[in-house]
Amino acid sequence: MALKIPRCVRCFVACELKTLPSVSGEAGSLKLTLLEVPVFACAKNHTVPVHRDFMLWLIQQIRALEAQFAAGREQGMIFKKHLCGECGKELAPKPERRQAFPYELKYEELAPFKLQIEMPLYKCTGCGKEQIRSAGELHGHVAGAVVGINDGAGFPHSG
Ligand SMILES: [Zn+2]
Ligand SMILES: [Zn+2]
């Protein structure tokens, strides 16, 4: 696929391919950061994604990574408890620390860039394994954090 170089919707001049050093978005306990992500930008740095489906593509990439996270199981309808995904003992009520997990992504023929998925890790009171509290908590915040990235990058709202 060849990328089509767009015109800036505000200045009507041709954009250039650039990279953003760092842009983050947060939703709930999830923080997503892109490092050196390629974008199109005009001379005044009005930015647009490199493709109109880029943000959707990004969500799909993160969705595909979700299963790699060791996660606890949520129990209870009203009073939620979180149990270790390994041994079933209760997880500590407060997170041990936050950790950013780095990944490399590549969109079409563009240079690769970095994605960091940052979540709080909870320690199991039984086996000591660190894990995110629940897979649903990560899953449920992905779209919201990507909206934060969209806004942080200065992209127009679309899609
Ligand atoms: Zn412009
Ligand atoms: Zn455990």
Give the tens place of pLDDT for each residue, 85-137: 999 999 999 999 999 999 999 999 999 999 999 999 999 999 999 999 999 99
pLDDT computed for residue 79 by the predictor? 87
CA of 47 to the centre of ligand 1 (A): 7
Ligand with minimal distance to 47 CA: 1
pLDDT computed for residue 159 by the predictor? 53
Banded model confidence at residue 1, pLDDT cuts 50, 70, 90: low
Selection from 35, 117, 34 nearest residue 71 by Cα: 117
101 within 8 A of 116, measured Cβ to Cβ? yes
Report the mean per-residue pLDDT for the chain. 95
CA of 48 to the centre of ligand 1 (A): 10
pTM (2 d.p.): 0.93
CA atoms of 12 and 73, how far apart (whole Å): 51
Ligand with minimal distance to 43 CA: 1
Query: CA angle, 135 as apex, 134 and 138 as ends, to 5°?
Result: 100
CA of 56 to the centre of ligand 1 (A): 23
Whether 2 shows a pLDDT value over 80: the answer reads: no
What is the number of other CB atoms lying within 10 angstroms of the CB of residue 57?
15
Whether 36 shows a pLDDT value over 60: the answer reads: yes
Residue 68 is given by DSSP the state: T
CA of 8 to the centre of ligand 1 (A): 5
pLDDT computed for residue 77 by the predictor? 85
150 within 8 A of 25, measured Cβ to Cβ? yes
